[in-house]
Chains A and B, each alone.
Chain A
Amino acid sequence: MDELLREFLTETSEYLDTVDVELVRFERNPNDSAILRNIFRLVHTIKGTCGFLGLPRLEALAHAAETLMGRFRDGEQAVTSRDVTLILATIDRIKHIITELERTSVEPPGRDDDLILPLERSSGGPGRRGIDPAILAAFDEPEAQPPGEERPAPSPQGAAAAEGADAAAGTRQQTIRVAVNTLEHLMTMVSELVLTRNQLLDIARRQEDNTFNVPLQRLSHVTAELQESVMKTRMQPIGSAWQKLPRLVRDLSSELGKPIDLVMRGADTELDRQVLEVIKDPLTHMVRNAADHGLESLAERRALGKPERGTIRLGAYHEGGTITIEIADDGRGLDLAAIRAKAIARGLAPAAEVERMSEAQVAKFIFHPGFSTAEAVTAVSGRGVGMDVVKTNIELIGGVIDIHSEPGRGTVFTVKIPLTLAIIAALIVSVGDQRFAIPQMAVLELVRVRPGSEQRIETVNGAPVLRLRERLLPVMSLARLLGRAGAKEDDDGFIVVIQVGRQRFGLLVDAVFHTEEIVVKPMSRKLRHLQVFSGNTILGDGAVVLIIDPNGVSRILGAQGVDAAAFADALAEMEEEREEEIEATALLVFRAGGPGQKAVQLSLVTRLEEIDATRIEWIGDRPFVQYRGRLMPLVTAHERLVIRKEGMQPILVFSDAERAMGLIVDEIVDIVDERLTIDPVPQRPDLVGSAVVRGQATELINVAYFLPLAHEDWLRRAAVPNAPVRTVLLVDDSDFFRGMLAPVLRAAGYRLALAGSVDEALDVLASQRIIDVVVSDIEMPGKTGFDLIESMRIDQRTRHLPVIALSSYISPAIVERARRYSGVEFVAKFDRGGLLAALAASIDGYGAAA
C-alpha cells in the first residue's frame, strides 16, 4: 500500500474517533463554539487530504458534512439532534469506506446520495425538509450494510460486520501491535545498554585515565533518558479505551428511548497498552449492559420518582498498586430473585444450595456462560453472551471483577487489574542483603524506628505496633514475612507505611534506598502462589528484584488476625485520648512526702543540686540556703515532706534572670521521656494533673503553684491562692502543631480546649464552656484566623476575648492586619516563650478589664 495512503488511514481513523466524541459533547452543548471549531477542523482536514489523494467518495461525504457544520459554526443554523445523527451517520459511512480502503487500497464502488442529499437539504437548501426517517433508522443499525453500495458477492450480514470490525480495529492495532513488539524489543535492548553502560562506568572508575569521563557521563545520561522514554511509551491513558463510549451511549440512548448521561472520571489513569487492549471490549460490553439492563425505562423511572436521565459512571484510579475501574449505573440493581430462579432452572446449582447463598454469591451467577436474565432479548444485549466473556478476559490478565448491587439504587462493577504489565514507581528497600521493590502507590510514608527513640515499635498483646500520630499501626517485619528467622531484633530499621483499601499497616525493613520506575514482569507460574509478591523486575543495575504485593501482605496480615478489627479497641481508646495525645516530654521523676512518684517537666528545671542539710537556714518558719552568693528560698514539694537535719538534701532549682527557688524533694529517681496523657486532679492547684510515667501513676507538679510560695511577686497571676485555672482555646488545623503546643500550655498551668478549624472553634465558643483566651493559627485552609477574629468580634459574648494570633511566617501585611483588631496579640508560631508571655499578659489584661 502506498505509504502516503497508509498514513492517511491511520491518521483519519484517529480523527474520526475524536469527532465521534466531540460530536456527542457538541450535541449537549450546542453553544460551545470551541468544540464545533475542533470538529470542523478535523472534518476539513479529512476532506482536504481526500482530495489530494484522489478519493472522491470520501471527499464528497466530508464536504457535505463540512458544509452543514460550517453553518452551525457560523450560527446560521440551530443544531438539532437529527442533524447530529445525520453527521454521525456520515462519519460511519466514512469509516466504512476507510475500512474497505485499508483492505483493498481503493475506494469501494457505490454512491452516497442517500447521505449527501439530506446533508445538503439540511444545509439550508430552499427546499429544506425533514430527513426521511427510514434513512435515519437505517443509520441507527450500524451492522446493516450501507445502502447504495453494491457488493459483488453479498456475504451474510454478521460476517460482513465482523470483518468490518476486525479491519477497523486493524487500523489502530496495526500501529499498536507493531509498536508493542518493537517496544518490547527496544526495552530488552535498552536493558542491555544499561548493563553495558554500568560495566563501562565501573571500568572507568578503576582507570587512572579520566579522558573517558565526560563522554561516559553523557552516555550515561542519554541511556537513562532512553530507558525512561521507552518505558513511558508503553503507557496509554485509559481514556483512549473510553473514546468510543460517549457515542455508544448516545446511540443506545436513542435506540432504547432512555435518556442517559455518561460520566467519566480518571480518564488520564495510565495503563499498559496491552492491558488496555484486553479490557477495551469488556468495558464496552459492561457499559452496554448498564444501559440496557441496568437502567430502567423512562416510564419506570418516572413512576419510581427517580431522575429521568439515567447515569452511567465510569471511573478509573490507581489503588494499592492495582488499577481499579468502576462501571456504575443508578438503575434498578440486580434482580437477585430472578437470578436465583434462573440458576436453579438452569441447574447451575441445587435449589437448596442456591437458597442458602449470600447475595454476593448469587450475583456472581451472571458471570456464568449463557446466563442472561433479560426478559426480552433486545437488539443491544440480552443474547446471553457477554458477562462470562468479560470475566474471562479480565481474568486472563490476572484481574478480578466484583459486583455490588442495591435494589432500586443501581449496580457497580469493580474491575481490579493487577500491575502485571504495567510500569510503576517503586520504592527499593532491603532486608538483610536482598533488595525488594514496593509499589510507591501504596506507600504513604516512611518512619525511622529505633529502640528507645521517640519513634519505636511497641507491642499490644504481643503484636508489634507503631504509634503514628493518633493511630496505632500494625507492624509486620518483612524479614519475618519472608520466613527469614531474624538474628537481628525486629525493632530497628524503617517502617514503610502502606495503605491498601482502608487497611493501613507498617512493613519493617532494614534500609530504604530510592524510588525507581520499574517494568513489572509477571511471576513465574511456579511462584505465583506466593501472596507476598506480585511480580519481579530488572533494576537499572541489572539485578532481578522481587516486587512486594501490598494487597498480598494485607491479606496475610488479615489471615493472622492482625487486621484493623484487632486494633479497633486500642484505636478507639487512642481516639478518645486524642485531645490529650501529645509528644514525648522529658520528665524529671522524683519522690516527695510519700512513696508515690512525682514528676516535673525537665525543661523547667534549671539545676539539680544536693546540698548539705546543715547549710539550710531558717528565717522564721521559712527555710533558705546560701546559693551562688544569694539567699535562695526553699519550698517543700509536699506538705508532709520533712526537711532533713543532716546528710545531703536533694533540691530542684528553678530560676529566671533575677530569682531562684529551691524545691525540696526526698529523692530524685530518674529522667525519662514519656508521652504524657494528663488527667486533671480536682482541688489540687499544686498539680498539673496525673499521668502514667514508666507504668506508674505519677503526679505532675505545677511549678507555677510553688514559685509564688518562694517569691510572692514571681507570678502575679498565681499569687492569689487557688486562682482559677484559665482555659485557652487552641485553634490550629495541624494535629501535629496542636499536639506540640498542648503540653506546653498545660505545663504552664492552662486548661485547654482544642479546635481543628475556625468552625470548630466557633462551636466551642458558642458552647457553655468558659474560654479565657483564644490562641489561633492565622494560616488555615478555608477560613483563616482573621475570619475567626471577625466572627468573634461580631458576637457580644466573644467580642472582648483576647486573641493571640500565631503565624509561621511574619509578613508586615499580617502584622498590620493583626494590629487592626484590638486585643489581638501577634506571636511567631514557634516562639513558645513569646506565646507564654503573651498569654500571661493577655489574661492579666483581660482580668483587669473585666
Chain B
Amino acid sequence: MSAIDPAISASAVDDGIQYVTVTVGEQLFGIPIARVRDVFVVGGLTPVPLAPPEVRGLVNLRGRVVTAVCMRRRLGLPARERTVGTVMAVGLEQGDESFGLIVDGVGEVLRVPADTREPRPPHLDGRWASLASHIHRLHDRLLVVLDVDAVLSFDGDGGGG
C-alpha cells in the first residue's frame, strides 16, 4: 500500500515526463504520475451486480470506497488465467471520485525524454487507440501512455466523463 514518491527520480534535470509504468499482458503502459494518487494491493473486492463489465467491484481503501476498474477488460483482453499472488491497482482520481485501475503488475517510475514521444500508430486497434494518448520509444520496448480520462470513460458514465 505504499504510495509512489514522485520525488524518486526528480533529481534528473531534463524536462522529461514521469510515468508510473504498469504491465497488462505483455504490454508496458505508462500513466502520467500527476494523475496517480497511490498504488495499492487490492483486498476484499465487493462485486457490483449489474455493473458494466469493466467494473470489478468496490474496495475499501483506508475508509474510502474505491471503484476498481479492470484494465484487461478495458483493453478487451481475456481475464488472467490464474491470479498469482496479489492483485495490484493504481489509484486514480477523476472529479471527486477515486478509482483503482487493476493491472497485472506495477513497475518503476520512469522519466522519459520528451524527444522519444511518438504519435500513436494509426493501425492500433480501435479500443487501444481510444485509450492511448501517445507512445514513447524506450531502448528495448514501447511505452503506451494511457489517457486516464479515456480509460475511466466507459458505459454507465452517463455524461461520458
> B-contacting residues of A (Cβ < 8 Å)?
187-189, 191-192, 434, 482-484, 521, 524-530, 532-533, 536, 538, 542-546
Given A188-B62, A483-B49, 9 additional A-B pairs, CB 8 A: A434-B47, A482-B49, A524-B55, A524-B58, A525-B95, A525-B161, A532-B50, A536-B46, A538-B60
User: How distant is B109 from chain A, measured CB to nearest CB, in Å?
Assistant: 27
Residue B51 interfacial (CB < 8 Å): yes
Note all chain B residues with C-beta closer than 8 A to A532: 49-50
B51 to A: closest C-beta gap in Å: 6
In contact, A529 and B156 (Cβ under 8 angstroms):
yes
Q: Specify which of B44, B49, B97 is in contact with A525 (CB 8 Å cutoff).
A: B97
Q: Across the interface, which residues of B come within 8 angstroms of A538, CB to CB? A: 60, 63, 65
Say if the beta carbon of B52 comes within 8 Å of chain A.
yes
For the complex, count residues of B whose C-beta is within 8 A of A: 30
Shortest distance in angstroms between B89's beta carbon and chain A's nearest beta carbon?
A: 14
B46 & A542 in contact (Cβ 8 Å cutoff):
no
**Closest beta carbon of chain A to B30's beta carbon, Å:** 23
- Report the minimal beta-carbon distance from B161 to chain A, rounded to whole angstroms: 7
Residue of B nearest to A528 (CB): B158
Q: Could you name 13 residue pairs across A and B whose Cβ atoms are closer than 8 Å?
A: A482-B50, A483-B50, A484-B49, A524-B65, A525-B157, A525-B161, A526-B154, A527-B67, A528-B158, A530-B156, A536-B58, A536-B65, A538-B63
Instruction: List residues of chain A with CB within 8 A of the CB of B51.
Output: 526-527, 530
Cα distance A521–B48 in the bound complex, in angstroms: 15
Interface residues of B (CB under 8 A from A): 44, 46-52, 54-55, 57-60, 62-65, 67, 69, 95, 97, 99, 152, 154, 156-159, 161
A529 to B161, CA, bound (A): 14
Shortest CB–CB separation between residue B123 and chain A, in angstroms?
30
Most central of B51, B63, B64, B161 by chain A CB within 10 Å? B63
Query: Which chain A positions have C-beta within 8 A of B95?
Result: 525
**6 nearest interchain CB pairs?**
A482-B49, A188-B63, A191-B63, A524-B67, A544-B46, A544-B58
Docked Cα-Cα span, A745 to B44, in Å, equals 58
- Nearest chain A residue, comparing its CB with the CB of B46: A544
Whether the Cβ atoms of A542 and B158 lie closer than 8 Å is no
- Chain B residues contacting A524 (CB-CB under 8 Å) are 55, 58, 65, 67, 97, 99
Closest to B55 in A: A526
Distance in angstroms between the alpha carbons of A194 and B110 in the assembled complex: 38
Q: A525-B157, A530-B51 are in contact. Are A543 and B60 (CB under 8 A)?
A: yes
CA distance A191 to B63 in the complex (A): 6
B55 contacts which of A191, A527, A536 (Cβ < 8 Å)? A527
Question: Of the candidates B54, B57, B59, B64, which one forms a contact with A188 in the assembled complex, judged by CB atoms under 8 Å apart?
Answer: B64
A189 to B64, CA, bound (A): 11
A601, chain B: closest CB distance, angstroms: 47
For A189, the chain B residues whose CB sits under 8 A away are: 63
Chain B residue numbers with a CB within 8 Å of A484 are 49
> CB-CB < 8 A to B47: which residues of A?
434
A434 touching B46, Cβ below 8 Å: yes
Residues of B within 8 A of A544 (CB): 44, 46, 57-60, 65
A506 to chain B, nearest CB (A): 19
Complexed CA–CA distance, A545 and B49 (Å): 12
* Residue among A482, A484, A527, A542 with max Cβ neighbours from chain B (10 Å): A527
CB-nearest residue of chain A to B99: A524
A191 to B51 CA separation, bound complex (whole angstroms): 26
A438 vs chain B, min Cβ distance (A)? 15
- Asked whether B156 lies within 8 Å of A527 as measured between CB atoms, the reply is yes
Given A544-B44, A544-B59, A544-B60: A526 and B50 within 8 A (CB)?
no
Which residue of chain B has its CB nearest to the CB of A435? Answer: B46
Rounded to whole angstroms, the CA-CA distance of A270 and B92 in the bound complex is 34
Residue of A nearest to B64 (CB): A188
Shortest CB distance A297–B (Å): 46
B residues within 8 A CB of A528? 156, 158
Establish whether residues A529 and B158, one from each chain, have CB atoms under 8 Å apart when the complex forms: yes
Distance in angstroms between the alpha carbons of A521 and B66 in the assembled complex: 11
The residues of A that contact B158 with a CB separation of less than 8 Å are 525, 528-529
Minimal Cβ-Cβ distance residue in B for A193: B63
A residues within 8 A CB of B58?
524, 536, 544, 546
CB contact under 8 A between A526 and B157, given known A482-B49, A543-B46: yes
Shortest CB distance A488–B (Å): 16
Residue on A nearest B44 in the bound complex, by CB: A543
Chain B CB within 10 Å — which of A189, A484, A524 has the most? A524
B48, B60, B152: the one within 8 Å of A530 (CB): B48
Which residues of chain B are within 8 angstroms of A533 by Cβ–Cβ distance?
Answer: 48
The interface residues of chain B lying within 8 Å CB-to-CB of A188 are 62-64
CA distance A527 to B58 in the complex (A): 11
Kindly state the separation between the CA atoms of A542 and B65 in the bound complex, as whole angstroms: 10
Within the complex, what minimum Cβ distance (angstroms) separates B67 from chain A?
Answer: 4
B62 to chain A, nearest CB (A): 6
Docked pose: A630 CA to B152 CA in angstroms: 89
Pick the residue among B48, B63, B159 that contacts A527 (CB under 8 A): B48
